[in-house]
Every structure is written in C-alpha cells, then in structure tokens.
Amino acid sequence: MKALVLTPSTHEATVRELPRPIPGVGEVLIRVHAVALNPVDSLYVSHPIAAQDYRVIGTDFAGVVAGASPELAGLLDPRTKLGARVAGFLQGACSVNDRPGLPSPFVSSSGALPIESQGTEGPINVLIYGSSTSLGLYAAQLVHLSSLTSGRKIRLIGAASASKHDLLRKAPYLYDALVDYRDPNWPDKVREAAANRGVDYAIDCISEGATVEKVHSTFGQTIPASPAARDFAAKFFAFLGSDAEDGKVNLEPNPLRIMPGGLERVSPDGFTLLGADGVTSRSTTSGEGEHMRPISAEKMVYVIE
C-alpha cells in the first residue's frame, strides 16, 4: 500500500510503499478513499515528536472496511462488514480531559448528559476559539443542538478573524457575540460578552502557543470532574453515525476544498497552505493555481481513490 511517511531527522514527508497491514485483535482494516488535513498534520512534520524514522502520518480519513480480525468478523456487526463505509481519526491532538460536557445534542435511552449548573442563573456561556476553523464550524452547530435538546439557553461566543464574523452570525452558526482573535484584549471582551462572569465551557480549536492560556483565562471558575462525561463519547459518535444518517438531525457540511493530485500532493501543496508553524503564522499569499489560495473556513480534502 501507499502511505505518507515522515522521516523525523529530515522533517520530510514522502509517499512510500509499505506492506499491507494485517488486522490485530479488535482491529479493522480500512481502505482509505479520502483524507482531510488538519494543522496538527503539518506541525507533526515540521516539529516531529516521533523518535523513530519512517512514521506514517495523518489524522482524518474516510473509506471502506477491507478486513477485520476473526472475532470481529464473526460478530456480523454492520460496521465491520466488508465494504462498509466508515470514517474516523487517529494520531490526533487528543488528551485526557475530565471536564463535564454540555448536554448531549441527542436523547438516548439513558437520557441526555446532565449539565453542571455552575450555581448561576441565565444562559450558559460557551466560547469557541477558532470559530471559522472546520472544527469550530461543526462545534457551533452541535452547541445549538445541545441547547435545543436540553432546553437550556446557551450564549455562544466566538473568537475568529473579523472577516469571518458575518458568516458566523448567520445560520447555522448563529453566534451571539464575536471578537477578533487579533485583538490583544480579546479575552477581556469575551468576559464582557459573558455578562462579566466568565465562560462556563470553551473549545480551543487552535491550541497553539498562548491560545490555551488565554482561553483558560476566560473561565469564570474551575469545573469539577464528572464521571458521567466518560460515557458521553461512545453515544456521541453513535449519534453522528446513525441519527444524522437517518435524517433525525441535519448538520450543514463544512465547505470543502477538493485538492488535486492525491496523496503525492499532500506534502508540497497541503502542508504549504497549512504552514509549518501553526494557524496564526499562515501565509496570506496565493500560490500558483486556484487551489493554492490561502486557506480559511474550509476543509482541505485529498481523494486517494
């Protein structure tokens, strides 16, 4: 098979031929049809954390099941059936986080995940930093679904480039307040928008440099851990994969930029657009060809086959 492989010693990613993997216990083999790029993919190449050479890189993928371990194949689970359409992510910037989540945007047999009242009245303040990123665009829609399902009023506050504020004020994003992330005083303006009591929940879609510290500074108080939040993830992904497919809920798809050239062009084109030092240092100069215009409020996708 072909794979995009990082050589940490040279900070280069090239397409190489590798042996086809054999699914281990509890694993499925996916034939990848398309990949989407994330800032972490480019940063992983320009600032490697891998110690070994020849590390396969990538995060988001979509494709079909091409194989499964014997015990999974025998379960007759439609998700492990040959040819089943699947999508997922791996090697991303995931971390352990025990903060309780917002009310779930769906109702299951066990009910919705309860929200922490935080001892306050009025709307729940939610901040999305990097509101015009692909993650931010989805997150805003899910926050509104959470409000609808739980019946709790949510005040949605966003930090994004001023050029994207008109987009973010409109459906389906419908931000209540927006600040320009280039404004050095944006955390103060977020707290003002949150009725001067700080935000209750926040999503940092950038997580680079000082963004984590600044986003954290907008909180009104420390939120205790909630064991119930651990049960949320499995139900959430089931919701995205089944309820949405059945038409029970509609999420507007993010704008896509289909990039030409397949896997071979990810490194020279895609990583050039993403930049080597994070979102805030991206070039605003267009390269050769329409697909090489500066990237913003879009998801770059490469079709593999």
CATH number of the CATH domain containing 65: 3.90.180.10
261 and 216 in a single domain? The answer is no
**Count of domains in the chain?**
2
Are 241 and 222 in contact by the 8 Å Cβ rule? The answer is no
Are 65 and 9 in contact by the 8 Å Cβ rule? The answer is no
Please give the share of the chain, as a percent, with pLDDT higher than 90: 50
With a cut of 90, say whether residue 215 has pLDDT above it: yes
Please indicate, yes or no, if residue 205 is contained in any of the structural domains: yes
218 and 265 in a single domain? The answer is no
Please indicate, yes or no, if residue 168 is contained in any of the structural domains: yes
The sign of the CA dihedral 191, 168, 298, 235 is: positive
Residues 132-143 pLDDT 10s: 999 999 999 999
Please indicate, yes or no, if residue 217 is contained in any of the structural domains: yes
74 and 137 in a single domain? The answer is no
With a cut of 60, say whether residue 251 has pLDDT above it: yes
Please indicate, yes or no, if residue 15 is contained in any of the structural domains: yes
φ, ψ at 295 (rounded to 5°): -95, 130
The CA distance from 295 to 305, in Å, is 23
139 and 213 in a single domain? The answer is yes
φ, ψ at 185 (rounded to 5°): -100, 20
With a cut of 80, say whether residue 247 has pLDDT above it: no
141 and 217 in a single domain? The answer is yes
Order of strands, edge to edge, in the sheet holding 2-7? 12-17, 2-7, 55-56
216 and 138 in a single domain? The answer is yes
CB under 8 Å to 66, separation ≥6 — which residues?
A: 29, 30, 31, 82
Confidence of residue 283 (pLDDT cuts 50, 70, 90): confident
With a cut of 80, say whether residue 97 has pLDDT above it: no
Q: Which domain holds residue 131?
A: 124-222
Least confident range of 45-59, 110-124, 216-230? 110-124
So what's the pLDDT on residue 190? Answer: 97
So what's the pLDDT on residue 243? Answer: 58
Are 196 and 125 in contact by the 8 Å Cβ rule? The answer is no
The CA distance from 207 to 56, in Å, is 23
134 and 84 in a single domain? The answer is no
With a cut of 70, say whether residue 94 has pLDDT above it: no
198 and 267 in a single domain? The answer is no
81 and 164 in a single domain? The answer is no
* One-letter amino acid of 172: P
So what's the pLDDT on residue 172? Answer: 96
88 and 16 in a single domain? The answer is yes
